[in-house]
Amino acid sequence: MKTTIAQVGQYVDKEVTIGAWLANKRSSGKIAFLQLRDGTGFIQGVVVKAEVAETLFQQAKSLTQESSLYVTGIVRKDERSSFGYELTVTDLNVIHEAEGYPITPKAHGTEFLMDNRHLWIRSKKQHAVMKIRNEIIKSTYDFFFSKGFTKLDSPILTGSSPEGTSELFHTKYFDEDAFLSQSGQLYAEAGAMALNRVFTFGPTFRAEKSKTRRHLIEFWMIEPEMAFVEHEESLDIQEEYVCYLAEQVRKNCDLELDLLERDKEKLAAIKGPFPRVTYDDALELLHEKGFDDIVWGDDFGSPHETALAEHYDKPVFITRYPKSLKPFYMQPAPDRDDVVLCADLIAPEGYGEIIGGSERIHDYDLLKQEIEAHGLPLDAYQWYLDLRKYGSVPHSGFGLGLERTVAWLSGIEHVRETIAFPRLLNRLYP
């Protein structure tokens, strides 16, 4: 029976054939252990000299790393392996013999691994991270579809710059100028006026000269946008969404979390309610903790965010930031016009901001004034202003950075390992 490693549990004590690659191997004079992978999982194949033809045993012993083959064997239950099964090999058919695979079981430096990212993603740890990423994507669709949201596809080529003009990728659009999308938000707002609750999910681009463990040049963002939803209700939804992601990863990625040595207690502790702390109170807390140099109006850097998240030991919403720190579209607080109805969700364990969101300005005149005050070209935003001209309603939305969320839930140090082919400050290859 032809099957995959993920499916072998259905064939205990039966003979199966699996198309696989040789990830690693160990052998003695009497037995060869083949670490096999087929992309759906990893399994150990055991070739016992006394039980197979001599040529087969010799072939198993001489197999090179990453050679591709069809392996036939009997599936055995194996309590010692975390996967739970093993294969007693009865036959091998080599498809392609690999020579000199560069990523050997020894330790390699990061730059070398990044240069070989197209191969590195085959390794166990990278495989586990990709599976967790996939679980988060699936859970995102499940969550928002179950709540009646419609997926809206926002364009990648745009004429607008929602998150400020300094980090734009510029390109030509025939005779016009265009930018790669920094965020699907403005289009999601138009979508919300047509479909009530929508979410976008796509690649976004920031020409940020940041070389940190949290920044990518190209990253994927999930951006829900909701009509008739005010700030606090949006925070309720964010909280429920993030808890759902953590729960699904814990439930469905147990092997991967073990392989990554993720502390699962930390994931189990991701439960609402998340503290909602104003920027002003957070600033006071930082002062109490000895961060003396930061004053009202300064943005929080990663040491500040880490200190805040540590203090609460939970994801924490920092709300009502100074207006001067945030983009043009955020609704000012009703009681103060120097702060806006926004929140950043800061993840614990130093992972930093994973969500940024706000209520949006729904008054035409105020929005027009803000667009002008930010020096943005009115003609490029006329369509966006139209949304405030024809049945404007209060609405809110947010953006969750997929890679930072994958890093956090997987317990991975750097976002470069959370996407198959990261785009970094000095990296466009492979």
In angstroms, give the least distance from the CB of 118 to ligand 4AD: 21
Helix (H) or strand (E) holding 186: helix 185-195
Q: Residue 60 class from Cβ within 10 Å (0-12 exposed, 13-18 middle, 19+ buried)? A: buried
Position closest to ligand 4AD via CB: 401
- Encoded one letter per residue, x for contact with Mg ion by CB under 5 A and - for no contact, window 133-172 reads ----------------------------------------
Residue 397 interacts, among ligand 4AD, Mg ion, none and using kind-specific CB cut-offs from 5 to 8 Å, with ligand 4AD
- Encoded one letter per residue, x for contact with ligand 4AD by CB under 6 A and - for no contact, window 393-422 reads ----xxx-x-xx----------x-------
- Encoded one letter per residue, x for contact with Mg ion by CB under 5 A and - for no contact, window 62-101 reads ----------------------------------------
Asked if 221 interacts with ligand 4AD (CB under 6 A), we say: yes
Looking from the CA of 400 toward its CB, the CA atoms found within 13 Å total 23
Residue 163 interacts, among Mg ion, ligand 4AD, none and using kind-specific CB cut-offs from 5 to 8 Å, with ligand 4AD
Asked if 356 interacts with ligand 4AD (CB under 6 A), we say: yes
Looking from the CA of 397 toward its CB, the CA atoms found within 13 Å total 31
Q: Which is nearer to ligand 4AD, 67 or 185 (CB)?
A: 185
Q: Which is nearer to Mg ion, 224 or 356 (CB)?
A: 356
Q: Report the C-alpha gap between 276 and 83 in whole angstroms.
A: 41
Which residue, chain included where needed, has tokens 């690693």?
24
Q: Which is nearer to ligand 4AD, 185 or 248 (CB)?
A: 185
Q: Report the C-alpha gap between 35 and 20 in whole angstroms.
A: 10
Q: Which is nearer to ligand 4AD, 219 or 384 (CB)?
A: 219
**Span from 37-45, 318-326, 348-356, 360-368 in contact with Mg ion (CB under 5 A):** 348-356
**Span from 10-18, 36-44, 348-356, 362-370 in contact with ligand 4AD (CB under 6 A):** 348-356
In angstroms, give the least distance from the CB of 163 to ligand 4AD: 5
Secondary structure (3-state) at 396: strand
Look up residue 159 and give its DSSP letter.
Answer: S
Name the residue among 388, 387, 318 with its Cα closest to residue 352.
318
Residue 219 interacts, among ligand 4AD, Mg ion, none and using kind-specific CB cut-offs from 5 to 8 Å, with ligand 4AD
Q: How many CB atoms lie under 10 A from the CB of residue 314?
A: 16
Residue 352 bridge partners (DSSP): 347
Q: Which is nearer to Mg ion, 356 or 422 (CB)?
A: 356
Residue 183 interacts, among Mg ion, ligand 4AD, none and using kind-specific CB cut-offs from 5 to 8 Å, with ligand 4AD
Q: Are 33 and 25 spatial neighbours (Cβ–Cβ below 8 Å)? A: yes
Helix axes 231-252, 402-410, angle to 10 degrees: 50
Asked if 355 interacts with ligand 4AD (CB under 6 A), we say: yes
Asked if 327 interacts with Mg ion (CB under 5 A), we say: no
Secondary structure (3-state) at 150: strand
Residue 232 bridge partners (DSSP): none
Q: Are 114 and 427 spatial neighbours (Cβ–Cβ below 8 Å)? A: yes
Which residue spans within 165-301 are E strands per DSSP? 170-173, 176-180, 197-205, 218-227, 276-278
Q: Are 4 and 40 spatial neighbours (Cβ–Cβ below 8 Å)? A: yes
Residue 42 interacts, among Mg ion, ligand 4AD, none and using kind-specific CB cut-offs from 5 to 8 Å, with none
User: According to CB under 6 A, which residues from 51 to 110 bind ligand 4AD?
Assistant: none
Four-residue CA torsion sign, 255, 259, 262, 264: positive
Compute CA 319 distance to the chain's CA centroid, rounded to the nearest angstrom. 23
Asked if 356 interacts with Mg ion (CB under 5 A), we say: yes
In angstroms, give the least distance from the CB of 291 to Mg ion: 20
Q: Which is nearer to ligand 4AD, 348 or 401 (CB)?
A: 401
206, 262, 395, 416: residue in contact with ligand 4AD (rule CB under 6 A): 206
3, 44, 67, 185: residue in contact with ligand 4AD (rule CB under 6 A): 185
Total number of residues that touch ligand 4AD (CB under 6 A): 23
Q: Are 41 and 5 spatial neighbours (Cβ–Cβ below 8 Å)? A: yes
Q: Are 107 and 45 spatial neighbours (Cβ–Cβ below 8 Å)? A: no
- CA distances to 19, 47, 221, 362, 419 from 356, in Å: 44, 54, 11, 19, 20
In angstroms, give the least distance from the CB of 161 to Mg ion: 15
Q: Which residues bind Mg ion (CB under 5 A)?
A: 356
Chain residues that interact with ligand 4AD, rule: CB under 6 A: 162-163, 183, 185, 206, 208, 215-216, 219, 221, 223, 353-357, 397-399, 401, 403-404, 415
